[in-house]
Homo-oligomer: A and B are copies of this chain.
Amino acid sequence: MPVDAFAVLAEPARRRILDELRVADRSVGELVTALTISQPTVSKHLKVLRDAGFVSSRSAAQQRIYHVEPAQFAALDEWLAPYRRLWTKHLDKLARHLDTMEQ
């Protein structure tokens, strides 16, 4: 992770952009109308997301179409992995407890 992925996602507006792009690729203008944020603000957030590798863009005439880049999310998932063990262990314990109660 070149730039801090968590810092990038800390901004709610950026997560809303990602939620939008997850459904389908979108032009900047579409994002602006979908999210009701000013155009310069959207462009700046997109730049941050691009620099962090969360999205990439292609040009289509005067428009730029953005789409989600899955790799960064996979990196996030890797960070989460060791903690996942903690809560699955927790769930196992819970399951065993329930099994005990059934008897």
Q: Which residues of the partner chain B approach A71 to less than 8 Å between Cβ atoms?
A: 87
Q: Which single residue of chain B is at the shortest CB-CB distance from A79?
A: B15
Given the contacts A7-B10, A10-B7, A80 and B83 also touching, CB distance less than 8 Å: no
Q: Complex Cα distance A76/B73, Å?
A: 12
Contacts of A9 in B (CB 8 A): 6, 10
Per assembly, the copies of the chain total 2
Any B CB within 8 A of the CB of A4: yes
A87 contacts which chain B residues (CB < 8 A)?
70-71, 73-74
Docked CA distance A98–B87 (Å): 35
Instruction: For A18, list chain B residues within 8 Å (CB).
Output: 83
21 contacts between A and B (CB under 8 A): A4-B10, A4-B12, A6-B9, A6-B10, A7-B10, A9-B10, A18-B83, A22-B82, A22-B83, A68-B83, A68-B86, A70-B83, A70-B86, A70-B87, A70-B90, A71-B87, A73-B80, A73-B84, A73-B87, A76-B80, A80-B80
